[in-house]
Amino acid sequence: MAANVPAVAPVHLAGGDLRSDLRAVKVVWRRELLRFFRNRLRLLTSFVQPVLFLLVLGTGFASLAPSGGAVNFKTFMFPGILAMTVLFTALFSAISIVWDREFGFLREMLVAPVRRGAIVVGKCAGGATTAVIQGALMLLLAGLVGVPYSPSLLLTLLGEMVIVAIALTALGVLLASRMSEIQSFQAVMQFIVMPMFFLSGAIFPPSNLPQWLSVLTRLDPLAYAVDPMRRAVFTHVSASPALQARLNGGITWDGWRLPIGLELGIVVAVAVVALALAVWQFSKAE
């Protein structure tokens, strides 16, 4: 009788081997890129807004702010606009999660025979990649605002944008992990994005601020990404010591200016915590 028993088909359990998870990361990452490049309106609008901030707002403030030589307020704003570009693209890339949940596609992804963490990592990788691409396009405008096209400077800014893009995308995925309506997600994003941008020191120096505003600036994780970018830019431009102190004072804790390594370490810590919480949220029952 045992010889007549048909063989049982092998079962592929969810959360399988590493190879399947890596393939899932690649598929989700590629899907995010395809959606980004096919949406030409999104490409255009996400590029035009930072350009307007830089050239229009920067030109207006340049008449009120101190300048010297080739350095003006647009030079000061350029690192902040890079961070703004990454911020907007990275956080709003997570809207695809809410969209997929609303139309039922996310449920199909979650029942795939892979760990749910692989889906989160793929989403974060895709969102971070698109954000870095947008930021890299903004680097093409460096010469218009007095920032030299130095290979070392451009590579430094690109590397710092990668770090902040991962952190912000992970934060966006975390916020979107339990939202079921696109309208709710957009409202929450607007509530978070604009305060993060304005408190980051992107359009005003974070030093010599009132106490209450200085505290809020130190609580903004984006501020710890803007300052290293600005320090890299001011290392490659000619500015007087007084102008350096005025526009490149950096973030201080009780009078101590944070080193670049510590600032980037804070951004990395935010990325790790946000990614871990996003994976935990997705691991819970849908």
pLDDT tens for each residue of 83-98: 999 998 888 888 878 8
Question: Which carries the bigger pLDDT value, residue 213 or residue 116?
Answer: 213
- The Cα 196–Cα 199 span in angstroms is 5
Residue 56, pLDDT above cutoff 70: yes
Query: What is the pLDDT, as a whole number, of residue 52?
Result: 85
Average pLDDT over residues 59-84: 78
Binned at pLDDT 50, 70 and 90, residue 164 comes out as very high
pTM: 0.86
- The Cα 56–Cα 62 span in angstroms is 10
Residue 2 lies in a domain: no
Residue 14, pLDDT above cutoff 70: no
> Which residues make Cβ contacts (< 8 Å) with residue 116, sequence separation at least 6?
15, 110, 279, 282, 283
Specify the number of domains making up the chain.
1
For 254, which DSSP code?
Answer: T
128-to-61, 153, 213 alpha-carbon distances in Å: 31, 20, 29
Residue 135 lies in a domain: yes
Binned at pLDDT 50, 70 and 90, residue 168 comes out as very high
Residue 169 lies in a domain: yes
Residue indicated by tokens 């309506």: 181
Residue 3 lies in a domain: no
The radius of gyration of the chain from alpha carbons, rounded to an integer in Å, stands at: 22
Residue indicated by tokens 């994003």: 189
Residue 18, pLDDT above cutoff 80: no
Residue 70, pLDDT above cutoff 70: no
Q: Which domain holds residue 154?
A: 18-283
Residue 5 lies in a domain: no
Measured in degrees and rounded to the nearest 5, phi and psi for residue 256 equal: -100, 120
Average pLDDT, the chain: 83
Residue 159 lies in a domain: yes
